[in-house]
């Protein structure tokens, strides 16, 4: 779960840029609307992390 928090911190760092892009595209943004996408983002990042970790262990 610790990695998920790190991934969330990275996502929050880039949130202002994402909000601006959504605003430019005339897409409404709210935390409630973002929640499903953030959950999906965490799943993707966890899988990518696990894959990288697996590859690193194979290269040892």
Whole-number pLDDT of residue 47 = 92
Report d(CA 14, CA 20) in Å as an integer: 10
Whole-number pLDDT of residue 1 = 55
Boundaries of domain holding 36: 2-59
Whole-number pLDDT of residue 6 = 84
Mean predicted lDDT score pLDDT of the chain: 85
Mean pLDDT along residues 18-39: 86
For 31-50, what is each residue's pLDDT tens digit? 788 888 888 888 888 899 89
Region label for 59, one of left (φ > 0), alpha (ψ between -120 and 50) or beta (otherwise): alpha
- Residue 52 host element (H or E): helix 31-59
pLDDT at 17 over 80: yes
Total tally of structural domains belonging to the chain: 1
Residue 36 vs residue 11, higher pLDDT? 36
């Amino acid at each position: 779960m610790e990695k998920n928090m790190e991934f969330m911190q990275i996502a929050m760092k880039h949130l202002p840029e994402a909000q601006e892009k959504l605003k430019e595209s005339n897409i409404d943004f709210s935390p409630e609307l973002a929640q499903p996408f953030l959950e999906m983002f965490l799943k993707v990042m966890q899988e990518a992390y696990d894959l990288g970790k697996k590859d690193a262990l194979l290269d040892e």
